[in-house]
Chain A
Amino acid sequence: MNDLIVRDDLSVVTTGSQDYVTIKLDGQSLGIPVLAVHDVLNAQQITKIPRAPAWVSGVLNLRGRIVTAINLRTRLGLPPLEDGKKSMSIVVEHGEEPYSLQIDSVGEVLSLDDQLFERNPVTLDKKWRDVSRGIYRLENELLPILDVDKLLTFDAEGKAA
């Protein structure tokens, strides 16, 4: 996958366009690089893990692999999903370990022009700034792009959460 290169003067080098899967989370759209997505799952049976960080919702069995489920709402400081609604999952990999990101719903795959990309506004919530690569200016809305690796780098975060 082509990485976006941000120059020192904050402008983005145009390298064409990138593909993203959009997801919905508490009304907000977010993008995940399409190549990072391994699977999209409907609601799964999740085994809860006591004493785990709050944003780890449990583990699930994906074709014989044990996948750690991350509650993306909690991770990003959003209120929990209303009762009765089931979340979907996007399976990504980090350090050769599979993780399932619990989200509200999956949108579409968008091919976005690099020229629409912008760095995070400095005023963005820290929880978001840490995991967002930057933001695409879409016609109707703004699309922050999730950095999967940062999202799952948990050391300091795990303790803080």
Chain B
Amino acid sequence: MDDLLNEFLTETNEAIDVVDVELVKLEQEPNNKEVLDNIFRLVHTIKGTCGFLGLPRLESVAHASENVLGKFRDGDLKVNEHAVTVILESLDQIKEILAGLEATEQEPAGDDTDLIGRLDAIAEGGDGSAPVRKPDVVDGEIIDPGLGRSLKAGEVSLEELEAVFANTPGPEAETVDPEPASAAMSADVSLFDRMGGEDAIAVASHLIGSRLANHKELGTFFGSVPADQRKAKFMGLMLALFKDDIDAAENVGKLLVSEAGFGDDEFDALMKVMTETFTECQVAEEVVNEAIMTFELVREAITASSNEVVPAVADKPGEATGPGAAAPVAGAPTGGPSRATQSIRVSVDLLEDLMNMVSELVLTRNQLLQITREMDNSELAAPLQRLSQCTTELQENVMKTRMQPIGNAWAKLPRVVRDLTVELDKKIELEMVGSDTELDRQVLELIKDPLTHMVRNSADHAIESPAERIALGKTEHGTITLKAYHEGGHIILEIKDDGRGIDAQKLLPKIIEKGLATAAELADMSEGQIQKFIFNPGFSTAEKVTSVSGRGVGMDVVRSNIEKIGGTIDMVSIVGKGSTFKIKIPLTLAIVAGLIVKAKDERYAIPQISVLELVRASANSEHRIENIKDTPVLRLRNRLLPLVYLNEILGLNDDDDDDDDEREKKDDFIVVSQVGPFTFGIVVDRVFDTEEIVVKPLAPILKDIEIFSGNTILGDGSVIMILDPNGIAALTSADASDHEDEEEQEREVKRKAASNTIESVLVFTAGVETPKAVPLGLVARLEEIDVEDVEISDGKYLVQYREQLMPLIFADPSMKMMEKGRQPVLVFTDREYTMGLVVDTIRDIVEDELDIKLASEKPGVVGSAVINGKATEVIDVAHYLGLAFSDWLNSGDTNDATAPTEGAHLLLVDDSDFFRNMLKPVLTVAGYDVVTVNSGAAAIALRDDGHMFDLIVSDIEMPDMDGFELAQNIRSEGIWQDLPLIALSALASARDINRGHEAGFDDYVAKFDKETLLRSLSQQLQIKGTAA
């Protein structure tokens, strides 16, 4: 059987069971909104799934029930006994269809018109009408059992057919039906086709049904069954037999006779009736014989089941609800192995218990191993070895039962999307990234439905029709992207579409109508806030209710399901561009790889995801921890890596005197971690190996300790804490500042980190007493140069450094080279230029927002900032580079008209870290509010997120998307179309400048010409101001 169908059966059966119970609860407390919502969702899900699986009969029944439930929910209808009864009846009907589905893998034939009619009547408000409960009232309905639905316009009912058939005068003898002739010619055509197909069989079963009712022998067995059921039963039996589906035929056969006493004689009589009927229907004689032969296959089933029928059941022939009784009634054993034997459902609680037991087993095993090791008793060794092995395997398997790749939950989505594309006539591609991300089974189960809902929503609401998309200049194919990945101790699921986005304006009337907010409140809300109203119950933006979605169950179900597992859901939607939903699920139930490290006497785990690399530092090796004042740093591939000592972070070094001793150990292991853009090293005492750990949540008492994200039990049974690099990073930054009002600080730090304005600044002194500072990002290395190595050439100080001559420049004109000893030097590198800046002492590295308060006229100084509570001069590296290399800076010679427009918002696009770091303070001090990105793509992303700037400065040579492309892109679409654009490039030939203008740049400035850039900025902003 199809996996999908199998799963559907299991799930739906479960859902139905829940609904059964809930409905009864609802009847008792009609005002319980929660129960009602729950029922509604379940039925909605059943309906939805049926649609995808192509089960029209089931879908129509569920749809009708859902309608009624919807009215309950909206308060249009009062919950009453009658309505509930009918809904329960519809559930029974669904169950029956499901049973048939399981037996034959096809929806059994049958008719639900009556039931649907009654449900619809209730939905229309007809709850006052007398309940029509007996299913046998359906007699005479215009239905076609073969079709299993009410007749569409243009179709003819069987009664009419029969009438026509009976009234047609004697063509039987003359007219040779082409059907049997062809059948005779091709013996390989199936019996079903030779019998004349479904229609002929329908006619035959109708005739048989009506004849049996008045048959002198058989009437007693069939007379009491409603005509429709009789027809349906024969129809089902024949279909199954003629299509060679013996299992199904046996099942149906068992149901054929519901009275006791149907023996072989009766069966023969029945066969006689059938032969007559078939002949009458102009089926060729040989075909009739063959057909009758096939009935022999079910002779036993029919007669045997008749003998099993107990009188009590026989009294109530109508028990087999509805005419669709071709399916086995509940409880009737079905042929073939039941689904249940292939897989069983085990409660997660049980698995959890099992897991705990195994943990304990592991502990006991370890104890035993320990004891035998001491006892030196070889007799025990062998069995213990075996026990140990079994335990390990058991543990692994129990763990495995809980973990599944998320791909399992996604498996049915491609089909869902495919079916939707057909149904909605759209073109949609589904991309899935990270499907091997493992999730706890329980979590997986819970997010399955929300995910399906969301993908369905995206396909239905978000993605436009191909025509619309083309008109909007998008590709014909819409794309829905599913992405799963680990991030900072969470699993992130992203559902992204490139559809129409959510129009906040369209939501407004709905929000007000639903009373969720007043117009005044809405006026104060941002677009994003308004969009988030879609997470409220009963909210749907679809203009009409379709069978796919649009009842507003979607997003609130999604949210409640996700919140149930402690997750969060967020979304960003841009009208015309699409929406991204981001589901964040805590890792508490997931397994992660953890690096086990040691600090003092305890072990800790660091999630492997946030570990970039491990570095071993010792006094003699290339990697050696150096201190700037008390701040430890590590040189790592031409970068300075700030370090934190785990011992100190954990507060394990209480004694300050010990501090230095602790740090001056010969060997240190450094775990290089990354948190967002911030890379730092955690110094630990020892590194063990990596282990797969099951993250368990912290007790509430410990939740406040931000450096831990959870705890876990290791293989040896010991409990260890899991470190949270995010927390450590936050703590480090917080420690650097004052301890007063820590919480406020923390928030501040987080905010700063989020806006990415916090910077590491190297503080030093040179010449005068005022401390000087430079962004750490600019410093390539810190060196101490022996004064004796310094040479003087052409009036400049030089030093041989890494086989090159490096010019040395004094950071302050009043400085002098030391007489002897080692002179600290900051090394700056840009492309092929390397320069040493001679300073007196290196003071500190500070994490702070580089907020330059006062601009400076002094050459080489950008301005003054308050760092560590002291006024500090921030130096302009470009100036010193200019001093060192005259060709580095093509200095402009004009100094006028550089006054900036106050507080203008600039975007600086440049792929070079160095350049960004250098230019940012220059621009900031000139009064601009600067945001930097490192690629054209990142800039476009900002635009698409709706960020607005006054002006954009872009580099030209960048990988992937160069400046020209970026300019073209900006000019062609989006909110930045009219912004002034300034190109900044080392390529400053006339040809380049022309090309720049063609691409859409308003001005073109040579890369290191600070003055011209400032002037150009000012001009462009003025032009813009005038234009506006």
Q: Which A residues lie at the B interface, using CB under 8 A?
A: 45, 47-53, 56, 59-61, 63-66, 68, 95, 97, 99, 152, 154, 158
| From B700, B707, B717, contact of A51 by CB (8 A) | B707
Q: Given that A50-B651, A51-B651 are known contacts, is A45 also in contact with B718, CB under 8 Å in the complex?
A: yes
Q: Given that A47-B602, A47-B720, A61-B713 are known contacts, is A53 also in contact with B701, CB under 8 Å in the complex?
A: yes
Q: In the complex, what's the smallest C-beta–C-beta distance from B594 to chain A, in angstroms?
A: 15
18 A-B pairs whose Cβ atoms sit less than 8 Å apart in the complex: A47-B721, A50-B602, A50-B652, A53-B701, A59-B699, A61-B713, A61-B718, A61-B719, A63-B357, A64-B355, A64-B357, A64-B358, A64-B713, A65-B356, A66-B711, A66-B713, A95-B700, A154-B701
Whether A66 lies near B701 (C-beta < 8 A) is: no
Q: In the complex, what's the smallest C-beta–C-beta distance from A158 to chain B, in angstroms?
A: 7
Whether A61 lies near B650 (C-beta < 8 A) is: no
A61 to chain B: which residues have CB within 8 Å?
359, 363, 713, 717-719
| From B360, B696, B708, contact of A63 by CB (8 A) | B360
Q: Given that A61-B718, A64-B713 are known contacts, is A52 also in contact with B702, CB under 8 Å in the complex?
A: yes
Whether A51 lies near B650 (C-beta < 8 A) is: yes
Whether B650 lies near A64 (C-beta < 8 A) is: no
Closest to B705 in A: A51
A53 to B705 alpha-carbon distance, docked (Å): 9
B155 to chain A: which residues have CB within 8 Å?
none
A51 to chain B: which residues have CB within 8 Å?
650-651, 705, 707
B960 within 8 A of A: no
Apart from A59-B711, A63-B360: 20 A-B pairs, beta carbons within 8 A:
A45-B718, A47-B711, A47-B720, A49-B702, A50-B602, A52-B702, A56-B701, A60-B719, A61-B717, A61-B718, A61-B719, A64-B358, A65-B356, A66-B696, A66-B699, A66-B711, A66-B713, A95-B700, A99-B699, A158-B704
| From B359, B602, B701, contact of A68 by CB (8 A) | B701
A47 to B603 alpha-carbon distance, docked (Å): 9
| From B360, B651, B704, B719, contact of A47 by CB (8 A) | B719
Which of A60, A64, A66, A97 has most B Cβ within 10 Å?
Answer: A64
Closest to A70 in B: B701
B717 to chain A: which residues have CB within 8 Å?
61
Q: Which residues of B (609-657) have their CB < 8 Å from a CB of A?
A: 650-652
Q: In the complex, what's the smallest C-beta–C-beta distance from B603 to chain A, in angstroms?
A: 8
Whether A48 lies near B713 (C-beta < 8 A) is: no
Q: In the complex, what's the smallest C-beta–C-beta distance from A34 to chain B, in angstroms?
A: 24
A45 to B705 alpha-carbon distance, docked (Å): 22
Q: Which B residues lie at the A interface, using CB under 8 A?
A: 355-360, 363, 602, 650-652, 696, 699-702, 704-705, 707-708, 711, 713, 717-721
Task: Determine the main DSSP class of B at the interface with A.
Answer: mixed
A48 to B721 alpha-carbon distance, docked (Å): 9
Which of B356, B696, B717, B721 has most A Cβ within 10 Å?
Answer: B721
A63 to B353 alpha-carbon distance, docked (Å): 10
Whether B650 lies near A50 (C-beta < 8 A) is: yes
Q: In the complex, what's the smallest C-beta–C-beta distance from A80 to chain B, in angstroms?
A: 16
Closest to B731 in A: A51
Closest to B363 in A: A61
A64 to chain B: which residues have CB within 8 Å?
355-360, 713
B705 to chain A: which residues have CB within 8 Å?
49, 51-52
Q: In the complex, what's the smallest C-beta–C-beta distance from A157 to chain B, in angstroms?
A: 10
Q: In the complex, what's the smallest C-beta–C-beta distance from A49 to chain B, in angstroms?
A: 6
Which of A45, A50, A65, A154 has most B Cβ within 10 Å?
Answer: A50
Q: In the complex, what's the smallest C-beta–C-beta distance from B239 to chain A, in angstroms?
A: 55
A59 to chain B: which residues have CB within 8 Å?
699, 711, 719, 721
A50 to B731 alpha-carbon distance, docked (Å): 14
Whether B701 lies near A47 (C-beta < 8 A) is: no
Q: In the complex, what's the smallest C-beta–C-beta distance from A96 to chain B, in angstroms?
A: 10
Which of B356, B363, B700, B701 has most A Cβ within 10 Å?
Answer: B701
B711 to chain A: which residues have CB within 8 Å?
47, 59, 66
Which of B602, B711, B717, B719 has most A Cβ within 10 Å?
Answer: B719
Please give me the 6 A-B residue pairs with the lowest Cβ-Cβ distance, nearest first.
Answer: A64-B356, A64-B359, A50-B650, A68-B699, A47-B719, A59-B719
A60 to chain B: which residues have CB within 8 Å?
719
Q: In the complex, what's the smallest C-beta–C-beta distance from A153 to chain B, in angstroms?
A: 10
A53 to chain B: which residues have CB within 8 Å?
701
A56 to B652 alpha-carbon distance, docked (Å): 16
A61 to B696 alpha-carbon distance, docked (Å): 12
A52 to chain B: which residues have CB within 8 Å?
701-702, 705
A152 to chain B: which residues have CB within 8 Å?
701
Q: In the complex, what's the smallest C-beta–C-beta distance from A97 to chain B, in angstroms?
A: 5
Closest to B352 in A: A64
Whether B719 lies near A66 (C-beta < 8 A) is: yes
A158 to B699 alpha-carbon distance, docked (Å): 13
Closest to A53 in B: B701
Whether A63 lies near B356 (C-beta < 8 A) is: yes
Q: Given that A50-B652, A61-B718, A66-B713 are known contacts, is A56 also in contact with B702, CB under 8 Å in the complex?
A: yes
Whether B359 lies near A97 (C-beta < 8 A) is: no
Closest to B721 in A: A49
Q: In the complex, what's the smallest C-beta–C-beta distance from A33 to chain B, in angstroms?
A: 21
A151 to B383 alpha-carbon distance, docked (Å): 47
Q: In the complex, what's the smallest C-beta–C-beta distance from B760 to chain A, in angstroms?
A: 25
Q: In the complex, what's the smallest C-beta–C-beta distance from A39 to chain B, in angstroms?
A: 13
A47 to B718 alpha-carbon distance, docked (Å): 8
Closest to A50 in B: B650
Whether A63 lies near B359 (C-beta < 8 A) is: yes
B713 to chain A: which residues have CB within 8 Å?
61, 64, 66
Q: In the complex, what's the smallest C-beta–C-beta distance from A160 to chain B, in angstroms?
A: 13
B650 to chain A: which residues have CB within 8 Å?
50-51
A49 to B652 alpha-carbon distance, docked (Å): 10
Q: In the complex, what's the smallest C-beta–C-beta distance from B14 to chain A, in angstroms?
A: 26
Q: In the complex, what's the smallest C-beta–C-beta distance from B654 to chain A, in angstroms?
A: 11
Q: In the complex, what's the smallest C-beta–C-beta distance from B357 to chain A, in angstroms?
A: 7
B652 to chain A: which residues have CB within 8 Å?
50
A137 to B164 alpha-carbon distance, docked (Å): 100
A45 to B719 alpha-carbon distance, docked (Å): 9
A48 to B651 alpha-carbon distance, docked (Å): 12
B718 to chain A: which residues have CB within 8 Å?
45, 47, 61
A63 to B702 alpha-carbon distance, docked (Å): 21
Whether B356 lies near A68 (C-beta < 8 A) is: no
A48 to chain B: which residues have CB within 8 Å?
602
A161 to B233 alpha-carbon distance, docked (Å): 78
Q: In the complex, what's the smallest C-beta–C-beta distance from B533 to chain A, in angstroms?
A: 33
Closest to B717 in A: A61
Q: In the complex, what's the smallest C-beta–C-beta distance from A131 to chain B, in angstroms?
A: 15
A60 to B650 alpha-carbon distance, docked (Å): 19
Q: In the complex, what's the smallest C-beta–C-beta distance from B707 to chain A, in angstroms?
A: 7
| From B355, B700, B708, contact of A97 by CB (8 A) | B700
Q: In the complex, what's the smallest C-beta–C-beta distance from B587 to chain A, in angstroms?
A: 15
A63 to chain B: which residues have CB within 8 Å?
356-357, 359-360
Which of A56, A59, A68, A152 has most B Cβ within 10 Å?
Answer: A59
A63 to B356 alpha-carbon distance, docked (Å): 6
B719 to chain A: which residues have CB within 8 Å?
47, 59-61, 66
Q: In the complex, what's the smallest C-beta–C-beta distance from A161 to chain B, in angstroms?
A: 11
B359 to chain A: which residues have CB within 8 Å?
61, 63-64
Q: In the complex, what's the smallest C-beta–C-beta distance from B453 to chain A, in angstroms?
A: 30
Q: Given that A61-B719, A63-B356 are known contacts, is A97 also in contact with B699, CB under 8 Å in the complex?
A: yes
Q: In the complex, what's the smallest C-beta–C-beta distance from B716 to chain A, in angstroms?
A: 10
A95 to chain B: which residues have CB within 8 Å?
700
Closest to A96 in B: B700
Closest to A152 in B: B701
A158 to chain B: which residues have CB within 8 Å?
701, 704
Q: In the complex, what's the smallest C-beta–C-beta distance from A77 to chain B, in angstroms?
A: 18
A143 to B355 alpha-carbon distance, docked (Å): 40
A118 to B362 alpha-carbon distance, docked (Å): 48
A99 to chain B: which residues have CB within 8 Å?
699
B708 to chain A: which residues have CB within 8 Å?
49
Closest to B356 in A: A64
A47 to B707 alpha-carbon distance, docked (Å): 16
A49 to B720 alpha-carbon distance, docked (Å): 9
